[in-house]
Amino acid sequence: MTDDTADGIPTNLAAAWGLRARPGKGPKPGLTLDGIVAAGVKVATNEGLAAVSMGRVASELGASTMSLYRYVTAKQELLDLMVDAAIGPAPVPVDGEGWRAGLARFARTHLALLRSVPWVVRVPLAGPPLTPNQIGWMNYGLTVLRDTGLEEYEKLSAIMTMAGHVRNWALLTADMTASAAAAGTTPDEAIQTYGRLLTRLVDPARFPAVGELIKSGILDLPPGDPDEDFEFGLDRLLDGIEVLIERRAADPTCATPQVR
């Protein structure tokens, strides 16, 4: 991130939070930062992240490339603002909803969101969340965990672990879908092909545990809901958080070691 603002706030964050002075009247009347970001989101959604460039976004707006630099200093700044706009506001906590149901809703809503704008997971993470909508999602998670008795850093770690599970699953399934499409097949057909190949290639004497998996017949079954594995992982994460909450309730002085 470029740190060139007077008070030390990187320019992309200053723009996201509305702290950077807007440019005066430029060569393209009506050009705005929000409009530039919206055009970038449109290009990424319709044509993929690789299509996004300052020139392509300028073309979408009918403006010159140089005119965009009056509002965003670099492509990375534009991408940061696009991601924040694409993820949108966080869900609103539901009164009376327990922490487990609240975090599960956090995860499932976030997964559905990332699948609606799949290019978002292709933008490299430059650091922890700092833009307004990202902070909104963090605030939602912290609110859900407010009355659990967890330390603040434990709440934050729980949220980041959950978000990582969601992002990984969104990226994994997107890659599998794209790979299957490139091969002229479907994800279900690719999984069945994998099972057949594994059966033919694996020597149970060399890989006995994999041999037991094959012998179980699980690989011969028709593929089920592709998100069953996501739900399995989600439940295990929630189980782990629940154990921590119970441990904290039993002994409030027992804290998870902080690694910094």
pLDDT in 10s for each residue of the chain, 260 residues: 444 554 778 887 888 888 876 565 555 457 899 999 999 999 999 999 999 999 999 999 999 999 999 899 889 999 999 999 999 999 888 989 999 999 999 999 999 999 999 999 999 887 888 899 999 999 999 999 999 999 999 999 999 999 999 999 999 999 988 898 999 998 888 888 988 999 999 999 999 999 999 999 988 888 778 899 999 999 999 999 999 999 988 887 776 666 55
Q: Residue 58: which of 76, 75, 77 has the closest Cα?
A: 75
- What residue type is 17 in one-letter code? W
Q: What is the pLDDT of residue 2?
A: 47
Q: What is the pLDDT of residue 29?
A: 56
Give the chain's end-to-end CA distance (angstroms, integer): 22
Query: pTM here?
Result: 0.85
Residue 177 in contact with residue 167, Cβ under 8 Å?
no
Residue 182 main-chain phi, psi, to 5 deg: -65, -30
- Both tokens of 124, joined, read 């490299």
Q: What is the pLDDT of residue 222?
A: 82
CA distance 87 to 110: 8
CA distance 58 to 31: 10
Q: What is the pLDDT of residue 1?
A: 44
Residue 237 in contact with residue 162, Cβ under 8 Å?
yes
Between CA 160 and CA 165, with CA 161 as vertex, the angle to 5 degrees is 115
In this structure, what DSSP letter does residue 4 have? Answer: -
Residue 103 in contact with residue 238, Cβ under 8 Å?
yes
Neighbouring C-beta atoms of residue 83, cutoff 10 Å: 24
